[in-house]
Amino acid sequence: MRATRSRIMTIATLLLVAAGLAGGLTALLLHATRDRGTSTAAPPSDRGGGQVDLASEVADYTSRFGPDHGYRQPGDADRTAIAEGVGLLLDGRRAQAERLLSGRDFTVRTILDRVSGHRYAEVADRTDASDAPRGWGRVYLDLEHRPRWSVQVPHPVADLHTEQLGVRVLRASPGGVLVIAGAHRKAGQGNSADVAHRQDTVFYAICAELVRRGLPGVQLHGMAASAAPGYDVVASTGAGTAGRPDGGLLADALGARGFRVCRAWVRDCPLEGQENMEGRAAEAARVPFLHVEFAPGVRAGGQAAERAASAVGAVTRRWATAPVTT
């Protein structure tokens, strides 16, 4: 009798211990779920995304760009859906974003940039590697921090090496979104692929979505060496004034790194970007926007490009910690 009672008590004790462990594990899982909230972090099944050198990835992407092919005019529904898909991704609603973007032949994947050690979501057009690419662009979004700012490359290849400068800027500060146009600026009929001067492009729609969320942006351009004699960089706030404090910080940071800067809000400079469409959208919302032209020697790579990206980083790091404006 005593032996039976002892066995019953032992079994009961083991069951209580097992129940306690199960309850503790459940609490930990619930706590972890609450902590994730609406973060843009990739789900566990996707966190082991491919390791790449982001600079090489972008170089391979843009190597196919040419002035005579590779662009198709998007429709209103295309632009709207792709911009909304990027917005959903910014909100951490990845499954919904993937469904919406897939309907427009865009993919989303997680990559680990082995140079910076950071994880990014890549939003890419499925037609990029086809014989007839649409040229609608690509987006890289920091998955480890809340999105706070953008770096925009409207004329990859045409403005030589600006796409690589964009990668350097993205790597330098947390919370960045890199938006790269999907074709050479002369690829379409007329100026249809010149995304800095048109509103009917996927590039503009995405940048406008970022502005709607209050994200400031810096747009990178390349000028000829003869365009601004005596200067390495032309820094401007485009058609607006909301970015002037940030423009001053940028110009000071560039000057401190040995670059000669023409400040468009102080004197007349060439290539001020007054007609830039993304800048106009930002100004209408009173969101800071910087339009920056770099001479060839600055963006060609090496130490000069590193110093330039570091100077831009003085602004993007401030944006990364500032509250969004909307």
Which pLDDT tens digit goes with each residue over 156-201? 999 999 999 999 999 999 999 999 999 999 999 999 999 999 999 9
Q: Could you tell me the two tokens for 10?
A: 């032992």
- Residue 251, pLDDT above cutoff 50: yes
Q: Of 138, 309, 134, 288, nearest to 220 (Cα)? A: 309
Of the pLDDT bands very low, low, confident and very high (cuts 50, 70, 90), residue 323 is: confident
Q: What is the mean pLDDT of residues 89-108?
A: 98
- Are 105 and 45 a contacting pair, CB within 8 Å? no
β-pair partners for 190: none
Distances (CA, A) of 68 to 34, 204, 275: 51, 22, 24
pLDDT number for residue 325: 55
CB atoms < 10 A from the CB of 214, how many? 15
CA distance 218 to 228: 20
pLDDT number for residue 27: 41
CB atoms < 10 A from the CB of 112, how many? 17
Q: Could you tell me the two tokens for 207?
A: 């940048």
pTM for the whole structure = 0.86
Q: Could you tell me the two tokens for 315?
A: 């602004």
CB atoms < 10 A from the CB of 115, how many? 13
Residue at 234: amino acid letter:
V
Which pLDDT tens digit goes with each residue over 5-53? 445 444 444 444 344 444 443 343 333 333 333 445 444 334 445 899 9
Of the pLDDT bands very low, low, confident and very high (cuts 50, 70, 90), residue 152 is: very high
pLDDT number for residue 324: 64
pLDDT number for residue 50: 83
The overall average pLDDT reported for the chain is 89
Of the pLDDT bands very low, low, confident and very high (cuts 50, 70, 90), residue 326 is: low
CA distance 142 to 125: 19
Percent of the chain with pLDDT over 90: 82
CB atoms < 10 A from the CB of 51, how many? 10
| Tokens 């919904």 sit on residue | 96
pLDDT number for residue 103: 98
Half-sphere exposure of 146 toward its Cβ, with a 13 Å CA cutoff? 13
Of the pLDDT bands very low, low, confident and very high (cuts 50, 70, 90), residue 68 is: confident
Burial per residue of 237-276, b for 16 or more beta-carbon CB atoms within 10 angstroms, e otherwise:
bbbbebbbebbbbbbebbbebebebbbbeeeebbbbbeeb
Of the pLDDT bands very low, low, confident and very high (cuts 50, 70, 90), residue 280 is: very high
- Residue 93, pLDDT above cutoff 90: yes
| Tokens 């973060």 sit on residue | 39
Q: Could you tell me the two tokens for 111?
A: 């990559």
Q: What is the mean pLDDT of residues 94-117?
A: 98
pLDDT number for residue 122: 98
Q: Of 277, 273, 254, nearest to 264 (Cα)? A: 273
SS (HEC) of the chain:
CHHHHHHHHHHHHHHHHHHHHHHHHHHHHHHHHHHHCCCCCCCHHHCCCEEECHHHHHHHHHCCCECCECCCCCCHHHHHHHHHHHHHHHCCCHHHHHHHHHCCCEEEEEEEECCCCCEEEEEEEHHHHCCCCCCCCEEEEECCCCCCEEEEECCCCCCCCHHHHHHHHHHHCCCEEEEECCCCCCCCCCCCCCHHHCCCCHHHHHHHHHHHCCCCEEEEEECCCCCCCCCCEEEECCCCCCCHHHHHHHHHHHHHCCCCEEECCCCCCCCCCCCCHHHHHHHHCCCCEEEEEECHHHHCCHHHHHHHHHHHHHHHHHHHHCCCCC
